[in-house]
Structure 1
Amino acid sequence: MGNNPIATLQTNVMHTFDEVAKNPNFSFIGNTSVGTLINIPEARKADLEISDLRPHYDAVLLAYGAHEDRLIGVPNEQSLKGVMPARSFVGFYNGLPSEQNLEIDLSLSDTAVVIGQGNVALDVARILLTPFEELKKTDMTEKMIKILEKS
């Protein structure tokens, strides 16, 4: 890990989650919608309600993020080469099928700007700051590893 605080933090977070997940009192329910989903102009029913979970758990922690990209209003932001939503970038390196056609070329510059304040923005910064040799040891897609190798 060396002196890279981002890589150290990444390893610590993964190790801590792995340890917590071994506890028989811990449950993780992912890829599940909870409550009423507002999708203007229609609202649709979610997979679960909080009331479905409360009888079975002492605590319910809801961790969620954006389910779609949000434009920030930069002129031509959807057509500028090298400009992309962070959520799409994370989906690409995590191997989401819907993001595998994203064109990413990190060899054009040694500078990147990440605009955001949430976990996805931090994850992008973490990946861009982590030494390539450390990322090769992760479960990141081979396609992304090759892109990073050229950057």
Structure 2
Amino acid sequence: MAEARQLREYVPADGTAGATPTIDTGDLTGGSTDHTVWSCAGNLTAVRSIRARVREFLGGMGHSESSLDDSELAVSEVATNALLHSRSGQSGGVMTLFIRSDGARLRVAVADQGERETDADGHTRDDSGDFGRGKLIVDSCATRSGEYDSDATHVAWFEIDDTRD
């Protein structure tokens, strides 16, 4: 977990504040929430820690094993995309993980630091070709999913209606 430290507050190396990606939570009320900022160290080791945090939190809220599996797979895809296609995956990058459990519904969102100019291979988030299968995986796991941009932040989210089998 050294490569992906869990942080309560984040101040970039240059001393400026405000670089933490934010998530709009205005339409979400009630239930239990976990809101965590992750230092990503510019690599994919953070994804393992994020998957574990989602499983731990939602398991503690009593969600079914199938919902835990689907949540873990979907957040893996969302977090990996954030690291591969945004500034969050670069040195010093951060992501914000938001988890909410409200009755029989769970919601997970990952906010990243917005688009890179291009990644090391010249790809952007909107490229086609060998990209885009992650969205299909998220859609197959989730009841609802989407994404939005605000200021310098990109947020991908999904919800699962849990029958708690």
TM-score by length of 1: 0.29
More helix as a share of residues: 1
Which has the larger Rg? 1
More strand as a share of residues: 2
Of structures 1 and 2, the one with the larger relative CO (CA 8 A, separation 6+) is 2
TM-score by length of 2: 0.27
